[in-house]
Structure 1
């Protein structure tokens, strides 16, 4: 191993976030210079919540990076303390007493579909902590390597960021539903779930050629929004009430009481027709 365990696959991890079209907001950053390496700890936020991107820039300019949810970063911070204590208990490097794989101490962290392998290793260039990130469904491994002498400095920088940005992390939901799409006639409707410092929301967009409009519905309003839509759906499905049949126009058999304002000698067939016309007009106005 010619370098302190640094990898060059971090760009694949970066593309995983960028290719999903998620808008990222940078909240804070810290830079550490440890031996010949620079490390950037960036607190970022997208619609799924907050996370920390750890980027390593080697002396040769190579860049590698891993991503940590804030809860994972807190667990990693605790492991850094344990690894640092273990490192302090070791004596000077002894080339005759090095494990075959170079590993002095190992731990593993599991966060949803990601696994992180922490290995304190030793090679001809010294001792270092290699942190590898893998995804269970496959894909390249990304990793960074922290010189052992810098683990405490790295832990302290991570702690500062966590103290500042983890206080309201409970308000952020890391696993929001994926967006949905619906095509109706010549229109496209998009349903996207996001979140900001005010909470979770749904953005409903209507898209046509050269036209786009959208509304935003806060999560707390979803049940009422759903109930109103369901009520309209139920009402539009109900058959219209049938109109009552008009009274009989025939002269025999009696189809109901005759109007009381009929004058003697008036044509008996005209008034029922007039009455029917008025009744139909009234029904239409109802």
Structure 2
């Protein structure tokens, strides 16, 4: 399971109403999810900001939505898989220890980019950048979430003084609901390779927030393309491919028979010799189109 999907998520909970939150946002799944459940929520007031930590569950598993609401009512939010939330919790401890070791802010000793400490988390196709920063308003932890395939960046800013309180609230939720993201936990099949003429085909099995998939890559010297086939349609994909193989095998077979029994050039008859019976479907290797030799 990944930390966030594409699309928009409706904000249905009453706790957000009247606090400047619009009706859109990032969605853990594409489209509205009436089957999505909110399992627990915590609210933290840190300086002038409110933070909501919501444990949610949909068909892909459990995750935590973190929403930040500023004093002006504007909101920001990020999504964390349960395992990512546990990793984030651990980083909060190290960031807090580092923050405690710092002396009073010194305007003459601030890095050009304002960063005092940085870490990065990776989950499926999501990257999370954790930056402890300092500016004229004080020190804060900025958490940015990006999507590797492109798309908008979402981020929250947590006042440094509130990192311990935030960590403790996150720990309580993880203690209650665990760090299991859901999804397949077994070992996936190894990749396969097929070479045809000057082309190479690679079959790789992977897993992301949408489940298990097969990536089929076609590679030539100066060309590469790929398709992704979700596991839920592998059987149908196989059946369609087998049907095409069967039809083309029969077409090649019919073409060969027509060639053998066709008119002899310059004559009116057909080629001599007894005609060979068509092989039955059980005699045909559907995928390789091999027909047994007949005597």
Do these two structures clear the TM 0.5 threshold for a shared fold by scoring above it? yes
Could you state the TM-score of these two structures normalised by the residue count of structure 2? 0.54
Tell me if the contact between 1:83 and 1:120 (Cα under 8 Å) persists in the aligned partners.
yes
Partner of 1:63: 75
Counterpart CA distance in 1 for 2:172 and 2:71 is 26
Structure 1 residue aligned with 2:157: 145
Q: Which moved more, 1:113-122 or 1:158-167?
A: 158-167
Q: Which residue of 2 aligns with 1:176?
A: 211
Contact 2:183 2:211 in 1 (8 A): no
1:32 counterpart = 2:67: no
Query: Quick one: distance in 2 between partners of 1:67 and 1:10?
Result: 17
Partner of 2:166: 154
1:108 aligns with 2:146: no
TM superposition shift of 1:17: 3.2
Which structure: greater helix fraction?
Answer: 1
CA–CA separation in structure 1 for the residues paired with 2:22 and 2:109: 32
Q: Which residue of 1 aligns with 2:90?
A: 78
Deviation at 1:42, TM superposition (A): 0.1
- Structure 1 pair 89/9, CA: closer, same or farther in 2 (3 Å)? farther
CA 1:111–1:60: 2 relative to 1, 3 Å: same
1:94 CA drift (Å): 0.2
Partners in 1 of 2:152 and 2:182 — Cα distance?
32
Counterpart of 2:130 in structure 1 is 118
Counterpart contact for 2:55–2:65, Cα < 8 Å: yes
1:239 maps to none
Within 2, Cα distance between the matches of 1:158 and 1:17? 22
Aligned length: 174
1:149-201 deviations in whole A, cap 9, x for unaligned? 0000000000000011016x3755464359xxxxxxxxxxxxx99xxxxxxxx
What is the Cα-based RMSD across aligned positions, in Å? 2.9
Residue number in structure 2 paired with 1:42: 54
> Whole-Å Cα distance in 1 between the matches of residues 48 and 147 of structure 2?
29
Q: Is the 8 A contact 2:52 2:68 kept in 1?
A: yes
CA distance in 1 between counterparts of 2:41 and 2:33 reads: 22
Gaps of 5+ in 2: 1-19, 185-208, 214-229, 233-295
Q: TM-score, normalised by structure 1?
A: 0.56
CA deviations over 1:112-151 (Å, ceiling 9, x no partner): 0000000000001000000000000000000001000000
Specify whether residues 75 and 15 from structure 1 end up closer, same or farther in structure 2 by C-alpha distance, changes over 3 A only. Answer: closer
Question: If you compute each CA radius of gyration, which structure gives the higher value, 1 or 2?
Answer: 1
Give 1:34 shift.
0.2
Partner residue of 2:110 out of 79, 98, 101:
98
Q: Given that residues 61 and 182 in structure 2 are in contact (C-alpha distance below 8 angstroms), is that contact kept between their aligned partners in structure 1?
A: no
**Kindly tell me: are residues 165 and 172 of structure 1, through their superposed partners in 2, closer, same or farther at Cα, counting changes over 3 Å?**
farther
Bigger RCO (CA 8 Å, 6+ sep) = 1
Assess if the C-alpha contact under 8 Å between 1:11 and 1:64 holds in 2: no
Structure 1 unmatched ranges of 5 or more: 1-7, 179-191, 194-201, 203-286
Retained in 1: the 8 A contact 2:78–2:155?
Answer: yes
Listed one character per residue, the Cα deviations across residues 239-273 of structure 1 (whole Å, up to 9, x for unaligned) are xxxxxxxxxxxxxxxxxxxxxxxxxxxxxxxxxxx
